[in-house]
Structure 1
Amino acid sequence: MTDNPIAAQCDCGAVAGPLGTCVDYYHAILSEEQADPHMYMWHAPVVCAYLLQHPSRAHGQYLDGQFRQLQLYLDKGLDALLRVAAHQVARNKHGVRSSYDMAPLAAYEPLPPGGPPPHFRATFCGLPSGDGGFVSDGHQTYGHRIEAIAEATVESWRSIQA
Structure 2
Amino acid sequence: MTDIPIANRCECGATAGPLGVCADYYHGILAEEQADPRMYSWHAPVVCAYLLQHPSRAREKYLDGQFRQLQLYVDQGLDALLRVAAHQVARNRHGSRSGYDMAPLAPYEPLPPGGPPGRFRAAFSGLPYREGSFVADGHEAYGRRIQLIAEATVEAWTSLRA
Q: In structure 2, list runs of 5 or more residues that go unmatched.
A: none
Q: Which of 129-138 and 47-56 deviates more? A: 129-138
Q: Distance in 1 between matches of 2:94 and 2:49?
A: 28
Query: In the alignment, what sits opposite 2:41?
Result: 41
1:20 partner SS: coil
| Pairwise CA distance, 1:92 | 1.1
Whole-Å separation in 1 of the counterparts to 2:138 and 2:156:
27
Q: Deviations over 1:127-148 (max 9, x none)?
A: 1256663100000000000000
* Partner Cα distance (2:114, 2:103) in 1: 25
1:8 and 1:76 mapped to 2: Cα distance? 35
CA RMSD of aligned residues (A): 1.7
Name the structure 2 match of 1:148.
148
Figure out how many residues of one structure are paired with residues of the other and give that number: 160
Which residue of 2 is the match for residue 10 of structure 1? 10
Percent identical pairs in the alignment equals 76
**2:52 aligned residue:** 52
5+ unaligned residues in a row in structure 1: which ranges? Answer: none
Q: Which residue number corresponds to residue 80 of structure 2? A: 80
TM-score, normalised by the number of residues in structure 2: 0.93
Q: Distance in 2 between matches of 1:23 and 1:7?
A: 12
2: distance between equivalents of 1:112 and 1:20? 29
The residue number in structure 1 matching 2:106 is 106
Contact 1:5 1:15 in 2 (8 A): no
When normalised by structure 1's length, the TM-score is 0.93
Secondary structure class of the residue paired with 1:7: helix
Q: Deviations over 1:61-119 (max 9, x none)?
A: 11111111111111111000000000011111265533110000000111000000001
Aligned to 1:61: 61
